[in-house]
Structure 1
Amino acid sequence: MERQYKHLTSPITIGRTTFRNRMFSAPMGGTDITNDGCIGPKSTAFYELRAKGGAAAVTVSECMVHKTDGSHAYRLDESILNSLAGATYTADAIRRHGAIPSLELSHSGMFAGTYMTDKTRQHELVQYGPCDTTRADGVKVKALDEEMITEIVKAYGHVAGLAKRAGFEMIMIHGGHGWLINQFFSPLFNHREDEYGGSLENRCRFAIRVLKSVREAVGPYFPIEFRMSGSEFVEGGYGLEDGVEIAKMIEPYVDIIHVSAGTYQKTFGITHPSMFEEHGRNVFLAAEIKKHVSKPVATIGGLNDPAQLEEIIASGKADIVYMARALLADPFLPRKVVENRPEEIVKCLRCFTCMAERAATSTRRCTVNPLIGRELEGDEITLAPVKRKVVVVGGGPGGLYAAYTAARRGHDVVLFEKEKEVGGILRSEQALPFKHEMYELSGTYELLAKKAGVTFKMNTLATKEVVEKENPYALIIASGSTPLVPPIPGLDGDNVVIVNNYYKEKEKVTDQVVVFGGGLAGCECAIHLGMEGKNVELVEMRDELAPDANVRHRLLLLAQVNKYVHVHTGLKGVKVTSEGIECVGSEGKNVLVKGTSVICALGQRSTTKTVEELMNSAPYVRVVGDAAKVSTITNAVYWGYHAALDI
């Protein structure tokens, strides 16, 4: 057959190892890490799914190499019971699906303890870095002396040898993102006056010693990959010019130069490009470095579109593309690319649910993929023992995923949607360019559901009579929510647009606009309007904005708000007029926030009337998504998936 993306799907041989395509799974940390750093069975299944999905290499992250790094992450130590065994089972789980298992070796340096859920314990650790200093959070850092440097260098080699024994066939050395090796590279962190500081050559000395130690341990043909930041993108750090020189200095000791970006905490939305950044915004770093080296170069950064990936390889910007979040959203993305099924790819939304859950609860979850973090439950949908008639009410994300899942179980599924287009509340996202993938999600789910055999009945209100006429055994109610519009004078005026309807009424919004409501939806709409060049005022009764945003997305969101929007917190809107919103402050003072247009973004309420009407329309009834509780796309998809599995 002829591959649609022939460059992306072509093999690449490095040393004596052949990788089946150019799509690699980037380092992602597991979740069931034991207290002594062993890889648990949930994490093994987590990595295995990416291998089963067709990635050419799967990197397990992060394995800390030395006791001076107190981070709660993986350890590989023959003195720890099950350490080597857990690593071996994980490497085998990856390899048996045809992917090359790789282990990322790391040391957090002065940021040890990053992965601890209990951050108070982080302050109890002794932190080590290139220099004596005090971190921004007040934690003191001790400079590594020559003896400790030598010990850490040896530890890299020792752990690399253990990784090879466990069955890993590639080692990635983490030299970017503000971790220890990067701290030696960076003039932001490294102010040493000995052979490890000063000139760039000196600042590369520690990395080269590490790489020599690893090579000695694994042998001449074993692939060693070095992950680096092409630029730190921070004042006081190094830029791309130095990034090129670093790559040239480490090239003789590595087989792949993996070019990422940024430094710890300061550049989160660049290192992991947010929805406010362009896809592939860091590819130019790899492209420039590739001009100066002969070893294969890998790139990474918010990549999920096979057409873009193909162009990167075909044009010579990089030899390998890495994906992380994209392979959470759809672990089978590489197989879909290889099998010429790109239209079936469920794209990452860059919403940071995955990383927020890891920070908040030490679990993994993906908004669009309910398997993530629960891979041990199985990724295969088994046929139900009895084929049933299933009705799904509502074509939002929860309803669509429920219908798709029920059809894959072999049920006869009918989905009713009162509008002419599926998507539910996601339809409104088509108006916001940085959230367009959320709008596209419903189309992808619809395609998958139709291919699975779901019958769609559009423009049909699912009344009790309509549902009972189908005589279903199972009814999944995913009727969503409706906008909350309180009885505030003037809120029904011609100058008011409900945020859900903005995509249909954009022409009504003038250049002077007030967004009424500072939750997630209001903030994102305000940002978009500001990006369009409008003067945007944002009114919020509470003292903080977007408390409903996750911890990773919220900080990036607020940075955009500060850039594009004038914010008024602590104001209660009491009347909407042609001039704006009349408000009352906390001290009872009247304030007029001026604007000739008003966007109402005061929240959602569940469609309880629909739920009450339909509750007795089938033997099995489940309510999912906003119809059950106004929440997130994540919960809607997850609840819909399991509602279908339970039939």
Structure 2
Amino acid sequence: MTRKFPHVSSPITIGRTTFRNRIFSAPMGGTDITNDGCIGPKSTAFYELRAKGGAAAVTVSELMVHSQTDGSHAYHLDESILNSLAAATYTADAIRRHGAIPSLELSHSGQFAGTYMTDKSRQHGLCQWGPSEGMRPDGVPVKALTQEQIDDIVKAYGHAAGLAKRAGFEMVMIHGGHGWLINQFLSPLFNHRSDSYGGSLENRVRFAIEVLQSVRAAVGPFFPIEFRMSGAEFTEGGYDLEEGIQIAQAIEAYADIIHVSAGTYQKTFGITHPSMFEAHGRNVYLAAAIKKHVSKPVATIGGLTDPAMMEDIIASGKADIVYMARQLLADPETPQKIMEGRDADIVHCLRCFTCMAERASTATRRCTVNPLIGRELDGTEIQPAPVKKKVLVAGAGPGGLYAAYTAARRGHQVILCEKESEVGGILKSEQAIPFKREMYELGKTYERLARQAGVEIRLNTEVTPAYAAKEKPQALIIAAGSRPLVPPIKGLDGDNVIIVNQYYKEKAKVGNHVIVFGGGLAGCECAIHLGQEGKEVELIEIRPTLAPDANIRHRPLLLAQIEKYVHVHTSYKGLAVTPEGVLCEDPQGQRVLVPGDTVICALGQRSRTDVVEALQDSAPFVRVIGDAAKVSTITNAVYWGYWAALDI
């Protein structure tokens, strides 16, 4: 067949290992690390899903090689740990049986040991080791590794690699980026040694080379070794791209793939994992520059979701391999869909950081757009319903769309009704904000998948008790969503006021001096967008903090954008809206006018409980999901919708 994306779909051979395409699954931490560092069964299923979806290689992350100096709660591979080797073997098997090459990331946290611990107080109690003695920014002391310790760590990398090969892994990735130990040696930001491991680049790269040599001795000549590095650190005191090129040149004789990422720990989170405020592929240029100076295959990563962009990266010679992480949570079948030319069916990552925030909060995984993630052992295949039923879904927001899609895949007759002329629910409001455009497009993708599954979608159709009585469904899923909260504040119904959900329809009415009334997530993101457009933006919030409803990974990046573009007024109580602005009570109890010619009302949402109460007796099986049940997140709406459909 003729491939729509021939370059990214073509195989590549490294050593004596052939990978079925150029799309690799990047390291992502597991979901159930045992107390002694074994790969739990949920993690095995987590990695297997990406192999089933068509990725050429799946990298298990992250195995810490030297527990004596790295107390991170992550994977370990040690014959002395009962089940350690067996768990690794089962995981490699689960990946390989679907045609993907299993790879294991070998790492050491260095002075950031304990990063993955949910209890951060324990992290501060660990002994932290790094290239140099000093103090971390958070006040934790760091001890310099001795020569004896360095030698032991180098040996440990080789030992772990040998065990990985024995377990059935067919590639290893040496993590030399992102501020972890090898990067700490490479970087002048961390490395202040005066011996043979510090000072010149030749000295700073010595530890990385010794690690690579140790691994090569353990795995043999044809076993692929990948070295992951930051092409540049993007922080004061770190190295730049010019030195990144020199590092790549220094290590290429010892590695088979040079994997170019970016940034360093804590300082560049939104660059290392490009946020919605960054361009897709924003780090590709680093790999492209390095590829010009090395002969080994180069891999790139960084917010890649678009098959056309990935095809261009390979076709134009910017890189030989493309890596994805979050996109393969959003849609594990992305590689297979690319191979088959079904790019329109790909569910795209929103770059909302739900996945990473959940791991930090609960040590599990979730994905906003994919309810399977972190729950793979609950089943990843849709099973036909033993009894086919007529299912009515009220509301075509994200939860309703996914519920309808899932029910149809089970063989039910599904009718999805939407009272407006377009599906998407609250997602429609995101189309006017460029960095959130993918949320709007999610509704279109879900609609396409639902129609393909056989869902009948009826637009401009509201489900009322009379309508339900006429249709006589055997199951009803109520996904009626929420309505904007508009409190009885004088002037809030004025001509100069726009409800944030309606901004996409009334954008032309917005003046040059805008007040966003409400500093939750929706208000903050709208304020950032308006500031990026060049408008003067005031943000009023009654609470002392902004965006408490944003997740812990997205919120710091959001607040950084707020600082760049918005004038903030926290602990301000809005009293009245006037043509000149919003009259407020400030923290000192004084009345002040926050000036502006347009007011965007972003004071929250309220569940459509009236719709729920009216419809609750309209079918034998009734389930309420999404904002109709509780004003919450897209994540919950999709997850609840999926399971509502499975329960019918």
TM superposition score normalised by structure 2: 1.00
How far is the alpha carbon of 1:592 from its aligned partner?
Answer: 0.3
1:469 positional shift: 1.0
* Aligned counterpart, 2:311: 310
State yes or no: 1:530 paired with 2:536.
no
| Number of the residue aligned with 2:191 | 190
1:238-281 Cα offsets, whole Å, 9 max, x none, are 00000000000000000000000000000000000000000000
Q: Are positions 1:21 and 2:21 aligned together?
A: yes
Equivalents in 2 of 1:357, 1:32: separation in Å? 13
**Residue 352 in structure 1 maps to residue 353 in structure 2:** yes
Counterpart of 1:57 in structure 2 is 57
* Cα separation, 2, equivalents of 1:186 and 1:358: 28
**Match of residue 268 from structure 1:** 269
Which string of whole-angstrom CA distances, capped at 9 and with x for unpartnered residues, describes residues 524-556 of structure 1?
000000000000000000000000000000000
Question: 1: distance between equivalents of 2:588 and 2:155?
Answer: 64
| 1:512-551 aligned within 5 A | 512-551=513-552
| Partner-residue secondary structure (3-state), 1:542 | coil
Report the secondary structure of 2:553's partner residue: helix
Q: Which amino acid aligns with 2:49?
A: L
CA distance in 2, matches of 1:359, 1:505: 38
Look up the match of 2:209.
Answer: 208
1:392-407 equivalences under 5 Å are: 392-407=393-408
Residue identity in the other structure for 1:50: R
- Unpaired segments of 5 or more residues in structure 2? none
Q: Report 1:476-625 matches (<5 A).
A: 476-625=477-626
Q: Residue deviations 1:166-190, cap 9 Å, x none?
A: 0000000000000000000000000
**Matches for 1:205-284 after TM superposition, within 5 Å:** 205-284=206-285
Q: Aligned partners of 2:521 and 2:66: how far apart in 1?
A: 42
2: CA distance between counterparts of 1:182 and 1:5? Answer: 35
Give 1:154's aligned amino acid.
Answer: K
| In structure 1, distance between residues paired with 2:457 and 2:111 | 56
Q: Per the alignment, in what secondary structure is the counterpart of residue 8 of structure 1?
A: helix
TM-superposed deviation, 1:340: 1.2
Q: In 2, distance between residues paired with 1:552 and 1:6? A: 36
**Structure 2 Cα separation of the partners of residues 461 and 473 of structure 1:** 18
TM alignment of 1:4-43, pairs within 5 A: 4-43=4-43
Q: Does 1:368 align with 2:376?
A: no
Counterpart for residue 342 of structure 2: 341
Shift of 1:587: 2.7
For residue 442 of structure 1, report the CA deviation from its aligned partner: 0.3
Distance in 2 (CA, whole Å) between partners of 1:359 and 1:524 is: 23
SS in 1 for 2:88: helix
Q: CA deviation at 1:586?
A: 3.0
Measured in 2, the distance between the counterparts of 1:634 and 1:355 equals 13
Distance, in Å, in 1 between the alignment partners of 2:114 and 2:347 is 34
How many residue pairs get aligned? The number is: 647
Q: CA deviation at 1:143?
A: 0.3
Matches of 1:586 and 1:565 in 2, distance apart? 19
Task: Describe the SS at the equivalent of 1:582.
Answer: strand
Structure 2: distance between partners of 1:537 and 1:228: 41
CA distance in 1, matches of 2:72, 2:117: 6
CA distance in 1, matches of 2:588, 2:284: 52
Q: Distance in 2 between matches of 1:376 and 1:512?
A: 52
Secondary structure, aligned partner of 1:468: helix
- Matches of 1:242 and 1:623 in 2, distance apart? 56
Instruction: Provide the C-alpha distance between the structure 2 equivalents of 1:115 and 1:556, rounded to a whole number of angstroms.
Output: 20
Aligned to 1:163: 164
CA distance in structure 2 between the aligned counterparts of 1:424 and 1:309, rounded to whole angstroms: 31
Secondary structure of the 2:7 match is: coil
Find the counterpart in structure 2 of residue 327 from structure 1.
328
Deviation (angstroms), 1:66: 0.2
1:365-400 Cα shifts (integer Å, max 9, x gaps): 000000000101111100000000000000000000
Answering whether residue 164 of structure 2 is matched by residue 177 of structure 1, we say no
SS of residue matched to 1:39: coil
Give a deviation string over 1:603-645, Cα, whole Å, max 9, x none.
Answer: 0000011111111100000000000000000000000000000
User: How far did 1:31 drift?
Assistant: 1.5
CA shift, 1:462, in A, is 1.1
- Which digits, 9 at most, give the CA deviation of each residue in 1:444-483, with x for residues without a partner? 0000000000001100111111122111000000000000
Q: Distance in 2 between matches of 1:467 and 1:566?
A: 49
Which digits, 9 at most, give the CA deviation of each residue in 1:589-608, with x for residues without a partner?
A: 00100001000000000001
Question: What CA distance in whole angstroms lies between the structure 2 residues aligned with 1:368 and 1:124?
Answer: 37
Partner of 1:412: 413
- Deviation, structure 1 residue 37: 0.2
Q: Sequence identity, in percent?
A: 78
What code does the residue aligned with 2:476 have?
L
CA drift at 1:212: 0.2
Q: Distance in 1 between matches of 2:622 and 2:257?
A: 54
SS in 2 for 1:102: strand
The letter of the residue matching 2:42 is K
Separation of aligned partners in 2, 1:402 and 1:192: 58
Which amino acid in 2 is paired with 1:610?
Answer: V
- 2:108 and 2:518 map into 1 onto residues whose CA distance is 44
Distance 1:311 1:467 in 2: 50
Distance (Å, rounded) in 1 between the aligned partners of 2:631 and 2:592: 31
1:104 is aligned to 105
Give the Cα–Cα distance (whole angstroms) in 2 for the partners of residues 5 and 412 of structure 1: 36
CA deviation after TM superposition for structure 1 residue 422, in Å: 0.3
Q: Which amino acid aligns with 2:32?
A: D
Secondary structure of the corresponding residue to residue 197 of structure 1: coil
SS where residue 505 of structure 1 aligns? helix
- C-alpha distance in structure 2 between counterparts of 1:309 and 1:340, whole Å: 13
CA distance in 1, matches of 2:117, 2:635: 25
Measure, in 1, the Cα distance between the counterparts of 2:96 and 2:589.
67
The 3-state SS of whatever aligns with 1:551 is coil
Cα distance between partner residues in 1 of 2:552 and 2:133:
31
Q: Which amino acid aligns with 1:445?
A: Y
Distance, in Å, in 2 between the alignment partners of 1:324 and 1:173 is 17
Amino acid paired to 2:338: V
**Which residues of 2 match residues 285-296 of structure 1 at below 5 A?**
285-296=286-297
User: Which segments of 5 or more consecutive residues in structure 1 lack a partner in the other structure?
Assistant: none
1:129 aligns with 2:130: yes
Cα separation, 2, equivalents of 1:587 and 1:598: 23
- Cα deviation digits, residues 531-588 of structure 1 (max 9, x gap): 0000000000000000000000000000000000000001100100000000012332
Q: How does 1:462-473 map to 2 (within 5 A)?
A: 462-473=463-474
Residue 235 of structure 2 aligns with an amino acid whose one-letter code is V
User: Structure 2 CA distance, aligned partners of 1:497 and 1:125?
Assistant: 52
The amino acid that maps onto 2:411 is G
Q: In structure 2, give the amino acid aligned to 1:625.
A: G
SS of 1:435's equivalent in the other structure is: helix
1:273 maps to amino acid: P
User: Secondary structure, in 3 states, of the residue corresponding to 1:7?
Assistant: helix
State the distance in 2 between where 1:492 and 1:377 align.
48
1:343 partner amino acid: A
Find the residue that maps to 1:172 and give its secondary structure.
strand
- What secondary structure does 1:438 align onto? helix
1:33 is paired with a residue of what secondary structure? coil
